[in-house]
Amino acid sequence: MPFRPRYTGLIDKYRDRLPVPDDARVISLGEGNTPLIRLNNIPRKIGKNVDLYVKFEGLNPTGSFKDRGMTMAVTEAVEQGSQAIICASTGNTSASAAAYAARAGIQSFVLIPDGKIAMGKLAQAIMHGARVLQIEGNFDDGMRLVKELAAHAPVTIVNSINPYRLQGQKTAAFEIVEELERAPDFHCLPVGNAGNITAHWIGYCECSGRGEGALTQACSFCKGSCRYASAIVGDRPVMVGYQAAGANPFLRGEMVDEPDTVATAIRIGHPQSWDQAWAASRESGGWFDQFEDSEILTAQRLLADHDGVFCEPASAISVAGALRDIRSGRIPEGSTVVCTLTGHGLKDPDVAIRQAGDAIVKVAAELDAVKRAILDRL
Ligand code: F0G
């Protein structure tokens, strides 16, 4: 067996492609290295011949892709001597910021919207010792306040306007290219603040030799034994971004003041990476599309029920979108498609349980009653 060092997080693995000083104290929880799961049952169900994968970012340490960016942002904040970090968040960024701040031994402040935050995310921020400020407004109000505040207080912003966040998040594209030994034809993902679509595009551009930090050498993790060593690929995927119909600035072509959707993670009307996301879409030949809440929840259920992957509602929009575009032929048969599942379904148990329908049956604690209830379904 060739020697493989223990996986210790994405900064250690991709150090030569990330702006981290050699002697930096790395703040990591072992983020990244998430599974790329090939869906079997859903493509068969829709009768289309596609290679459909989900990149399950819900398996990061705090249950969302935010950890990829947070290891970078907090490592850099500590490097700069910062004693506190701050973010506005629909939930996942706050959970991640709080965890990485705890790991670093610094304070975190998180501004979350009034209501409409998934309970799992709130629990995380509290447990990791964040000072949680529930503002009487939405995410966009929180973002505005954080930017104003950071100009007056010694706190580092760790929202995706912090460029280190996107640097960390680009590594998801590295992992996909490494595993497929090529870029996918299409990459589908939810779009809220639009940092992640931007970060993926940076990552794919670097893999194709076209980005700023284009890969020129073997990865520092394995010193050349992994497949990534030869993974400069000439092609890049078409980037497809999906939004909730009630929070759809990229569909409208302008900011939305009162965003609303069951997918609270992407309840955002004023995305910060507006220009970058348009550039990713344009340069890749991609598009944006939108979905009603009911369609988002149907996709979430389908994925959990048919392929065993439980993601949060915002994440499911990538699968809803891919399936619609595969069915219509906009994504042609024979394509390799990757959907990012940005967060774990356990983040938002309330929304899942509200859809329970007849999944929960009350029975007497007697053998006959249990038998009847089981035979009913066999
Ligand atoms: N999916 C999930 C689960 C998210 O939490 C987010 C963003 C997105 C998708 C959209 O990604 O903003 O890069 O376009 N959540 C942020 C937060 C805004 O505060 O947790 P994006």
- This prediction has a pTM of 0.94
Residue 165 burial (CB count, 10 A)? 29
The string over 21-59, giving b where at least 16 C-beta atoms fall within 10 Å of a residue's C-beta and e elsewhere, is eeeeebbbbebbebebbebeebbeeeebebebbbbbbbb
**Do residues 168 and 69 lie in contact, with contact meaning Cβ atoms separated by under 8 Å?**
yes
List of residues 6+ apart from 21 with CB closer than 8 A? 79
> Quick one: which H or E segment has residue 341?
strand 336-341
pLDDT computed for residue 91 by the predictor? 98
Distance 368 CA to ligand 1 centre (A): 48
Q: Ligand 1 centroid vs 192 CA: distance in angstroms?
A: 6
Residue 185 Cα to ligand 1 midpoint, Å, equals: 23
- Cβ of 342 closer than 6 Å to ligand 1, yes or no, is yes
Strand partners, 55: 36, 340
The percentage of residues in the chain with a pLDDT greater than 70, rounded to a whole number, is 93
Show the tokens assigned to 272.
Answer: 């910060």
Please tell me if the CB atom of residue 62 comes closer than 6 angstroms to any atom of ligand 1. no
Amino acid code (one letter) for 87: C
Calculate mean pLDDT across residues 205-226: 57
Radius of gyration of the chain (CA): 21
Helix, strand, coil distribution of the chain in percent, nearest 5: 45, 15, 40
DSSP 8-state code for residue 135:
E
List the single range of 1-5, 74-78, 302-306 with lowest mean pLDDT.
1-5
Is residue 164 a contact partner of residue 19, using CB atoms and an 8 Å limit? yes
In the structure, what pLDDT confidence band is assigned to residue 234 with cuts at 50, 70 and 90? low
Residue 356 has pLDDT above 90, yes or no: no
Angle (CA) 59-126-141 rounded to 5° is 90
What's the 253 CA to ligand 1 centre distance in angstroms? Answer: 19
pLDDT band at 169 (very low <50, low <70, confident <90, very high): very high
- Dihedral (C-alpha) 143, 147, 153, 159: value to the nearest 10 degrees? 60
* Spacing, Cα 224 to ligand 1 middle (Å): 34
Q: Which atom of ligand 1 is nearest to the CA of 268?
A: 18
Which ligand 1 atom lies nearest to the CA of residue 160? Answer: 13
Residue 37 has pLDDT above 70, yes or no: yes
Strands (E), 60-197: 84-88, 107-113, 131-135, 156-157, 186-190
Angle at 376 between CA 374 and CA 378, to 5 degrees: 75
Tens-digit pLDDT profile for residues 136-155: 999 999 999 999 999 899 99
For ligand 1, whether the C-beta of 300 sits within 6 Å is no
Cβ of residue 90 lying under 6 Å from some atom of ligand 1: yes
Q: What's the mean pLDDT in 83-104?
A: 98
Contacts of residue 252, Cβ cutoff 8 Å, sequence gap at least 6: none
Among 123, 288, 111, 295, smallest CA distance to 192 is for: 288
CA distance 14 to 33: 11
* Residue type, position 202, single letter: I
| pLDDT-based confidence at residue 212 (cuts at 50, 70, 90) | low
